[in-house]
Structure 1
Amino acid sequence: MADLGFPDEPSSGHVEVDRQATENDSVYGDELSNYTTSLTSSVYNYRRENGRTYHGYQDGEYLFPNDEDESDRLDIVHEMTLTMMGRRLYLAPIGSSPRRVVDLGTGTGIWPIEFGDQHPSAEVLGVDLSPTQPSLVPPNVRFLVDDIEKPWLYSQAFDFVHVRGLACCVKDYANLIRQAYDNTAPGQWVEFQDWDTNLVSEDGSTNNTFLEQYYNVVLGSFQKAGYVNRPGLHLEQWLRDTGFENVHVRKYPVPLGTWPKDKHLKKVGAWNFLQAESGFESAAMAVLTRNEGWSRDEVTVLVAKARQDVKNREIHSLFYFYVAYGQKPGKSSSVDTSH
């Protein structure tokens, strides 16, 4: 696995605990018209259960909510990822003038909006099951309600395919990468950013905790339901197996909480803590009540215990986030290949 070793980011080695910290640390085009002219009522007919709302289109395919609380959480995750990656939206060397770009599983649409601002040359498409994106966006940004696991029906290939944070959201990740390959122009790039959701601690401090129980129960339920819950580990191999060349991978440590000594990791951990405050319930509620027979109250208790463990400075929980990008073979029609 190639580690590019960017100097402004910590290595993925040992993460030192901040022993000096106190409990008072602050937690700081035309083609689209065929799809977007009208949306069926099912798109907006959200499922409402256990105090949350869920997408109506392809009901049940995605087990996270789509309400305002979840949108706020996803925007926090976006800021956490930018902090983690040194304010980069992507790492692939796509050049300064990409033309057709797609963001799969776009969520609130914040990634394509920022990308569109930075690259006025590009037509940027964000695709998601829920139409929760804003209406006031850059003129080169559009959104499409669609299921990215179904066959893609685009008439032109993309210069850049971007995917982020689909752990526990898709069932055939390798096929998603194959579709990305088929819909990428020769010589152009894809980038997949995703989690290894396995909870670890270098000192064993997460062993036998409620936090460990939470992840075992929730991730086990997603796995039984057929979702890929640790895609980050496999991105490099999936890209290579699909036929991409010049594959590179960057592995980022992501603490949960402000326990690291390193200031950069402490800040990343603070953002992760903030998103987890609502993220614990977002991830657990539907998969446990629909698939495991849990009651809303039982999920709420598990979530509360996990949150309490995160506030314990003696529990040093850690995850890893992978950014993998690769190039489709063939001659690019783009002249500018600078980063």
Structure 2
Amino acid sequence: MSNQPTAIDNNTALVNVEVDTSYENDSSYGDELSSYSESLTSSVLEYRHENGRRYHGFRDGSYLLPNDEQENDRLDMLHELFLQLLNRRLYLSPIGKPQRVIDLGTGTGIWAIDFADEHPQAEVIGCDLSPTQPTLVPPNVKFLIDDIEAEWTYEKNPFDFIHARNLVVSIRDFGRLIKQCYRSVKPGGWVEFQDWDGYAYSEDGSLAGTNLQRYYDEVYGAFEKAGYETRPGPKLEGWFKDAGFVNIHVRKFQVPYGVWPKDPHFKKIGTWMLAAIEAGFEAGALAALTRYKEWMKDEVIALASRARADGRKRSVHMIGDFYVVYGQRPAN
């Protein structure tokens, strides 16, 4: 099996388990500063502190994951995972040399910064609820503090390329968001979403009945109760078609959790996935379960700990499906 990213069809198994009988337990950018589209008001900087974690203050409650340093480190680990999946590519769309680009839900801004380095001719905007991005960035990057699910005002100054990644459990209405992308991209321009089917699985049934499965059932149940989309990946193609995009392309990647795969490429991917998910068990569950299912903090931490232990077992072969979908607004 090659080390290139592999597009797969539904129900096709490519991740094989490594048999290991010895295992006993289951850029510097000068002085340029990023600019924001608005002054950082008190509502932006007055973060919510809850259960030992820090959450955004602007549009408080719109996003249920933390924005503290621990979470930012996890997001940067996910960035490396996605680069591994896409053979070090930031995107798959055939965009040429875009002049104006936006990254939706930019998080730490790492994708926007890397893209700006690759495309110095482009004006690159990263948009997020939290002002947690660095200040020393390429001169062609700026960050906006805004809610991407609110009404947009970009139609009069549209983009050549719109990018969004890892918005699972962050968005309530993906269909509406993608229609806003259609209206805000230039004729002939491209939109690309990269996202998960949030519910993991195992092809051999080894996930069934584990605390790992219970974790996802409980946590995603809470997100769904709050109105968030937990399975955007397989639905993206339909939303792109509904919005009017053409030349739609779909790639699906199997992403193993842990070091159990036999193939060296998948083992490396699984190691990055293990690190990123382990760092996010509590972060992903605390707000959702305490706010929407009335769990206590200690109960959430206990569930996260049990799920983490199951995830380290080589006998549990969890896989997640990651989708890259891109489409073009018709030129006429």
Q: Give TM class, smaller chain.
A: over 0.9
Contact 1:21 1:259 in 2 (8 A): no
Q: Which amino acid aligns with 1:144?
A: L
Letter in 1 for 2:4: D
Counterpart position of 2:246: 245
Partner SS for 1:36: coil
The reply on whether 1:149 has 2:145 as its aligned counterpart is no
In structure 1, distance between residues paired with 2:219 and 2:171:
15
Determine the C-alpha separation between the residues in 2 that align with 1:302 and 1:21: 29
Q: How does 1:76-115 map to 2 (within 5 A)?
A: 76-95=77-96, 97-115=97-115
Does 2:175 align with 1:174? Answer: yes
Distance 1:273 1:37 in 2: 38
- The count of corresponding residues between Structure 1 and Structure 2 is 318
Matches within 5 A, 1:257-268: 257-268=258-269
Partner of 2:30: none
In 1, distance between residues paired with 2:6 and 2:319?
Answer: 14
Structure 2 Cα separation of the partners of residues 184 and 72 of structure 1: 31
Change (3 A) 1:231 1:22: farther
Aligned ranges 1:57-68 → 2 under 5 Å: 57-68=58-69
Task: Give the match's secondary structure for 2:59.
Answer: coil
Taking structure 1 as the reference length, what is the TM-score of the superposition? 0.91
Unaligned runs of 5+ in 2: 26-33
SS in 2 for 1:107: coil
The residue identity in structure 2 corresponding to 1:110 is I
Deviations 1:306-330 (A, max 9, x none): 0000111000000000000000001
Change (3 A) 1:210 1:179: same
Rounded to whole Å, the distance in 2 between the matches of 1:125 and 1:288 is: 33
| Change beyond 3 A, Cα 1:55–1:21 | farther
**Could you tell me the percent identity over the aligned residues?**
55
Distance 1:103 1:202 in 2: 34
Q: What is the match of residue 116 of structure 1?
A: 116
Question: Does the CA-based 8 Å contact 1:281-1:303 persist in structure 2?
Answer: yes
For residues 107 and 253 of structure 2, the distance between their equivalents in structure 1, rounded to whole angstroms, comes to 22
Match of 2:5 in 1: 9
TM normalised by structure 2 equals: 0.93
Paired with 1:79 and 1:239, the residues of 2 have a C-alpha distance of 26
- Sort the Cα spacing of 1:45 and 1:327 in 2 relative to 1 into closer, same or farther, 3 A: same
Counterpart amino acid of residue 117 in structure 1: D
Kept in 1: contact 2:17–2:262 (CA 8 A): yes
1:133 equivalent in structure 2: 133
- In the alignment, does 2:317 pair up with 1:316? yes
**Separation of aligned partners in 1, 2:302 and 2:167:** 26
Give the drift of 1:24. 9.1
Q: Name the aligned partner's letter for residue 315 of structure 1.
A: V
Provide the residue aligned with 2:28 in structure 1: none
Q: Deviations along 1:193-247, whole A, 9 cap, x unmatched?
A: 0000112000000010000100000011111110000000100111011100000
Amino acid of the structure 2 residue aligned with 1:64: L
SS at match of 2:287: helix
| CA 1:22–1:325: 2 relative to 1, 3 Å | farther
Does the 8 Å CA contact 1:246/1:326 hold for their aligned counterparts? yes
- CA distance, structure 2, for counterparts of residue 175 and residue 229 of structure 1: 16
2:289 counterpart letter in structure 1: L
Measured on the aligned residues, the alpha-carbon RMSD in Å equals 1.7
Q: Find the aligned partners of 1:108 and 1:21 in 2 and give their Cα distance.
A: 41
How does 1:248-287 map onto structure 2 within 5 Å? Answer: 248-287=249-288
Shift of 1:22: 5.1
**Mean Cα displacement is larger for which, 320-329 or 14-23?**
14-23
Measure, in 1, the Cα distance between the counterparts of 2:89 and 2:5.
12
The answer to whether the 8 Å contact 2:200/2:319 transfers is: yes
How many Å apart are 1:20 and its aligned residue?
Answer: 3.5
Show CA shifts across 1:91-123 (max 9, x none). 00001x210000000000000000000000100
Structure 1 SS opposite 2:125: strand
Residue 55 of structure 1 deviates from its aligned partner by 0.1
The whole-number CA distance in structure 1 between the counterparts of 2:304 and 2:69 is 19
Residue 120 to residue 209, structure 1, CA distance change in 2 (3 Å): same
CA distance in 1, matches of 2:315, 2:94: 40
Tell me, in whole angstroms, the C-alpha distance in 2 between the residues paired with 1:307 and 1:314.
14
CA distance in 1 between partners of 2:68 and 2:22 (Å): 35
Deviation at 1:21, TM superposition (A): 7.3
**Distance in 1 (alpha carbons) for counterparts of 2:53 and 2:114:** 28
Does the Cα contact within 8 Å between 1:76 and 1:271 map onto a contact in 2? yes
Matched residues in 1 for 2:5 and 2:120: separation?
28
Q: Secondary structure at the match of 1:130?
A: coil
1:290 aligns with 2:291: yes
